[in-house]
Chain A
């Protein structure tokens, strides 16, 4: 049996190479400073990083076993965003993160990347529940998680401090049964 790769008619998930660093660096130093800093677990989101610093942070993300960092490409070969999948803590309950560059949003790339990751988690691993999280200030990320069918599991209060105030981090999860039901419903549409 041939296991399907992570690609679809809309996007393809590929490894990040040095050639992508300039694009990531550009976004981190412009409109996506906060979101990319959160993606890379930076403690000082206000610090502008150079490409080698970004490379080091991205490599750090993948140090743990069972973690995967990748780029998201459109079918016309445009690098449109980043994704991360982690089963380092427990493959029973992996988690993921997706970020799409602003000019590439509202084209279905993020939703499609999430669909591929959920399919990989539930069809090609033993994941029972998949989680994701977003800081309170990331309204785009929160709306995205809910649009995918994730349910809000709660929050860690005061998980950080930005613009002079504390913010919470919201958690979301999706059970295998919920994924299967949603998947079956979509297949029957």
Chain B
């Protein structure tokens, strides 16, 4: 397989100069991602320390999402649990990148990696019920809502649900027919 590169973006290892941008994503309430709300006071060093601590093992990974003209627009990560069976994916892109297909292609690249190279059985993601863009994107990619954990987050003054979405290997194969027969 080619490196994690598509027509719009490529996934590349993070660099020291990325952490200021990533701290900005972490500190923007719109891009904090699925989470309990966190204080928007992360520093680049805190992000770097977290990345170095969390992604040292072979069954997890994190990449910067870079456009073809070399702009970093977000990051994407996965963590296998159990290893070689399933993985949970996280993706965050900056607001300026929304609607341009960057997150979608980054997700397609990582799904291909997880199902074709890691041979996983299931990929999942956790998001919030008010993240309609994320839910819509995941459904387009073939994810299905598998659980709705009621009222376990607060966003923008409203209580909302956590949405668990997943896609099993056969569903990925159907959605991405070139994998049929593997």
Q: Are A175 and B85 in contact (CB under 8 A)?
A: no
Q: Are A153 and B149 in contact (CB under 8 A)?
A: yes
Given A93-B152, A175-B150; 13 other pairs, CB 8 A cutoff: A89-B36, A92-B36, A129-B152, A153-B147, A154-B145, A154-B164, A156-B122, A156-B147, A157-B168, A160-B82, A161-B85, A171-B147, A175-B151
Which of A129, A157, A160 is close to B151, meaning CB atoms less than 8 Å apart? A129
Contact status of A158 and B154, CB under 8 A, knowing A93-B149, A153-B148, A171-B149? no
Contact status of A128 and B146, CB under 8 A, knowing A158-B122, A158-B168? no
A167-189 contact mask (Cβ, 8 Å, vs B): 1 or 0: 00001010100000000000000
Which of A43, A131, A157, A159 is close to B149, meaning CB atoms less than 8 Å apart? A131
Q: How many residues of B are counted as interface, with CB atoms below 8 angstroms from the partner's CB atoms?
A: 21
Confirm or deny: A58 has a beta carbon within 8 angstroms of a beta carbon on chain B.
no
Residues of chain B having any CB pair with chain A under 8 Å: 36, 82, 85-86, 121-122, 124, 145-154, 159, 164, 166, 168
Q: Are B122 and A173 in contact (CB under 8 A)?
A: no
Q: Counting chain A CB atoms within 10 Å of each CB, which of B147, B150, B153, B159 scores highest?
A: B147
On chain B, the residues within 8 Å of A158 by CB distance are 85-86, 121-122, 166, 168
Output the nearest chain B residue to A178 by Cβ-Cβ distance.
Answer: B150
On chain A, the residues within 8 Å of B86 by CB distance are 156, 158-159
On chain A, the residues within 8 Å of B85 by CB distance are 158, 160-161
Mostly, the A contact residues are strand
* Complex Cα–Cα for A128 and B164 (A): 19
Q: How many residues of A are counted as interface, with CB atoms below 8 angstroms from the partner's CB atoms?
A: 22
On chain B, the residues within 8 Å of A9 by CB distance are none
Which of B82, B152, B166 is close to A157, meaning CB atoms less than 8 Å apart? B166
Mostly, the B contact residues are strand
On chain A, the residues within 8 Å of B166 by CB distance are 156-158
| 6 smallest beta-carbon distances between A and B, as pairs | A154-B147, A93-B152, A158-B122, A90-B36, A158-B121, A171-B147
Confirm or deny: A148 has a beta carbon within 8 angstroms of a beta carbon on chain B.
no
* Complex Cα–Cα for A157 and B154 (A): 26
Output the nearest chain A residue to B163 by Cβ-Cβ distance.
Answer: A154
CB within 8 Å of B: which A76-111 residues: 89-90, 92-93
Confirm or deny: A116 has a beta carbon within 8 angstroms of a beta carbon on chain B.
no
Q: Are A43 and B151 in contact (CB under 8 A)?
A: no
Q: Counting chain A CB atoms within 10 Å of each CB, which of B85, B149, B152, B159 scores highest?
A: B152
A102-142 contact mask (Cβ, 8 Å, vs B): 1 or 0: 00000000000000000000000000110100000000000
A93 vs chain B, min Cβ distance (A) = 4
B162 vs chain A, min Cβ distance (A) = 8
Output the nearest chain B residue to A168 by Cβ-Cβ distance.
Answer: B146
Q: Are B146 and A157 in contact (CB under 8 A)?
A: yes
* Complex Cα–Cα for A155 and B145 (A): 9
Q: Counting chain B CB atoms within 10 Å of each CB, which of A89, A158, A159 scores highest?
A: A158
